[in-house]
Structure 1
């Protein structure tokens, strides 16, 4: 069994494809053309394929916020605080695409898993599937020995 639970925000296919093409072009340009232009293309490509997320090591009870590039996770491990409960709730996520004179906002429904301690929280997982979210929350419940608050419906329920 894997002892690290990982959440990574997915990168859209076209963004990944474009970034994956810019990285080798940037490397080629650094080596054979113009170093400055190559570095610009390389940084743009890395920016397109990079994503953020979080990981929890259930063995050592540590967590980290991550920046991920092609499945390589970078971040500093921190000890988990003494969590009081897990909240599974439904919310909306907005993504805005801007061009010089126009912008478009796409709104989608997501389910977040937050772990609360005091009046603070850490978001550990995001999905669009309620069953998946409850399964992950149940895993956290067993690991940290805390209760789950299901706030995905109008009536909040302790599980």
Structure 2
């Protein structure tokens, strides 16, 4: 996460992203081996693998210009359209549970993962997600810094009773 007084950048680290990076590296290795054997399909596999391995997505906020964009990044080249940042009512922290089920013949597997999401709330309770964190302290730190930079309130919904961290 890169943060300065002018720019807030946070990469979304979704649950399934390490799988795609691993597949990307495997494709790159297979493509490199095929290129070594002078097989032209190896070039396609190598490039596709590198794109998968270095693909990222996230959000950038220009604090001074009051603009934001959801970006995709390949090889650290950021792409996305800048939009005006709406009037932010408050920033919220909340728990999000992700459930993934897998069935195989008579075996059933269930994976439950929980992470903390940070979102800007504006208008009629519309949200702009700005971060996904595994650690609550990191989420609170990032949300507090962003709330201070934007001059807005911070609401913590991670506990049973919501509480204002910054009013």
Q: Which among 103, 107, 114 is matched to residue 109 of structure 1?
A: 114
1:149, 1:156 → 2: CA distance? 7
Q: CA RMSD in A?
A: 3.3
Task: Call closer, same or farther: CA 1:8–1:27 in 2, change over 3 Å.
Answer: same
Partner of 1:67: 72
**Maintained 8 Å contact 2:20/2:52:** no
2:102, 2:47 → 1: CA distance? 22
1:5 is the counterpart of 2:8: yes
1:88, 1:61 → 2: CA distance? 21
Q: Using structure 2 for the length normalisation, give the TM-score.
A: 0.73
Q: Which among 84, 90, 93 is matched to residue 95 of structure 2?
A: 90
1:154, 1:96 → 2: CA distance? 27
Partner of 1:76: 81
- Gapped runs of 5+ residues in structure 2? none
- Gapped runs of 5+ residues in structure 1? none
1:47, 1:117 → 2: CA distance? 34
